[in-house]
């Protein structure tokens, strides 16, 4: 699971691009004004933001632990926490968020738990899919609240329309894909073989493969998804942990604003957080830069805070929910890899 030179180069380039985006965002907001707003933050409340963020990470780790348990892979709560921290690190240092980090995370789970790679990939893919359900639910609740107490402005109307489109499009695509999974599997196998063949010629330790071999792995992945879907009680528990995690993430942003002396309606952060997280699919490591920009663009018109305050709140919130898990996950992966190496 060691990173080769190509992986490190990709990560470094990604972070350079993300930092450049961050500098542009905060330059537009006014770096001096953002720093001035940050200097007025209540340190105790900021510390509480960190605690809430750790609880968020633990809650989503319990969702992963529950899904792994359904598949017969049993890990302790503490080990699941560090395992999910490693997963968060993978998502936060690779482009396109979860989409970029899932293969790496599956490899991490497989090495730590000795589960098959397809099982591990099915588990983390399921957790990411489960996280979609409460995020859209909270967003719809927040928009519904605003619709009943205030006149919707253009920004909120656009956000509401975006939520509805996402709530319909993604589940529809998932259902269609699942109903045609054999065809999807054939397509993946057919496309993967030539790509892996090309990679094998230029990347050390990558071996060519065959279409039947890839198809067996794809079938194993779909089999893991079927096993998870068959355990309704386990799924409900995983959804509960996911929903609680989203609630804690929303509390983190609310507390970030509160620490700056700007309490806002909690309903606002209920849909700002999940909608802002969509920017995580940008080709930047963990959406760094894109998520901060999205949060500012949503906070200013919806909550009425100044751009500098929004930037400062985004900085505090992302410090607790991006940088802290990334550092914790990086240390965790290093320790797990060292433990695995010593064990061998």
Within the chain, what is the greatest distance between any pair of CA atoms?
Answer: 63
**263 close to 269: Cβ distance less than 8 angstroms:** no
Q: Residue 123: is its pLDDT beyond 70? A: yes
Whose CA is closest to 166, among 289, 253, 277?
277
Give residue 186's pLDDT band: very low, low, confident or very high (50, 70, 90). confident
- If one counts the domains in the chain, the total is 1
Structural domain containing residue 284: 5-343
What value does the mean pLDDT of the chain take? Answer: 80
Q: Residue 5: is its pLDDT beyond 50? A: no
As a whole number of angstroms, the distance between CA 239 and CA 157 comes to 28
Q: Dig out the tokens for 267 from the structure.
A: 């309903």
- pLDDT for 209-227, tens place per residue? 666 666 666 666 667 777 7
Question: Looking up tokens 């064990």, which residue turns up?
Answer: 343
Q: Dig out the tokens for 187 from the structure.
A: 């397509």
Give residue 247's pLDDT band: very low, low, confident or very high (50, 70, 90). very high
- pLDDT for 60-102, tens place per residue? 999 999 999 988 888 999 989 988 998 888 888 776 555 556 7
- pLDDT for 16-39, tens place per residue? 777 787 888 888 888 899 999 999
Average pLDDT score over residue span 117-122: 82
The angle subtended at Cα 284 by Cα 3 and Cα 172, nearest 5°, is 105
């Amino acid at each position: 699971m060691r990173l080769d030179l190509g992986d490190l180069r990709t990560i470094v380039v990604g972070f350079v691009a993300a930092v450049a985006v961050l500098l542009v965002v905060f330059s537009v907001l006014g770096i001096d004004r953002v720093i001035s707003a940050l200097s007025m933050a209540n340190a105790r409340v900021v510390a509480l933001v960190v605690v809430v963020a750790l609880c968020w990470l633990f809650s989503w780790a319990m969702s992963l632990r529950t899904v792994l348990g359904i598949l017969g892979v049993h890990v302790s709560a503490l080990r699941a926490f560090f395992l999910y921290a490693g997963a968060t690190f993978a998502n936060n240092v690779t482009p396109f968020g979860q989409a970029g980090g899932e293969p790496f995370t599956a490899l991490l789970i497989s090495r730590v738990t000795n589960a098959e790679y397809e099982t591990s990939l099915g588990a983390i893919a399921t957790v990411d899919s489960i996280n979609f359900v409460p995020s859209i639910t909270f967003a719809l609740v927040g928009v519904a609240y605003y619709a009943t107490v205030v006149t919707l402005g253009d920004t909120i109307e656009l956000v509401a329309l975006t939520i509805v489109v996402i709530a319909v499009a993604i589940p529809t695509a998932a259902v269609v894909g699942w109903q045609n999974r054999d065809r999807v599997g054939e397509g993946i196998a057919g496309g993967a073989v030539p790509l892996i063949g090309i990679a094998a010629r230029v990347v050390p330790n990558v071996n060519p493969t065959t279409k039947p071999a890839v198809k067996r792995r794809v079938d194993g992945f779909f089999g893991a998804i079927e096993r998870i879907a068959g355990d309704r009680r386990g799924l409900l528990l995983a959804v509960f942990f996911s929903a609680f995690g989203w609630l804690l993430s929303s509390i983190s942003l609310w507390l970030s604003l509160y620490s700056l002396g700007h309490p806002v309606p909690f309903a606002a952060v209920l849909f700002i957080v999940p909608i802002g997280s969509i920017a995580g699919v940008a080709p930047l490591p963990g959406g760094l830069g894109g998520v901060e920009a999205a949060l500012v663009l949503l906070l200013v018109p919806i909550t009425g805070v100044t751009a500098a305050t929004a930037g400062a709140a985004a900085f505090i919130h992302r410090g607790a929910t991006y940088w802290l898990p990334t550092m914790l996950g990086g240390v965790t992966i290093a320790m797990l890899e060292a433990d695995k190496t010593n064990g061998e």
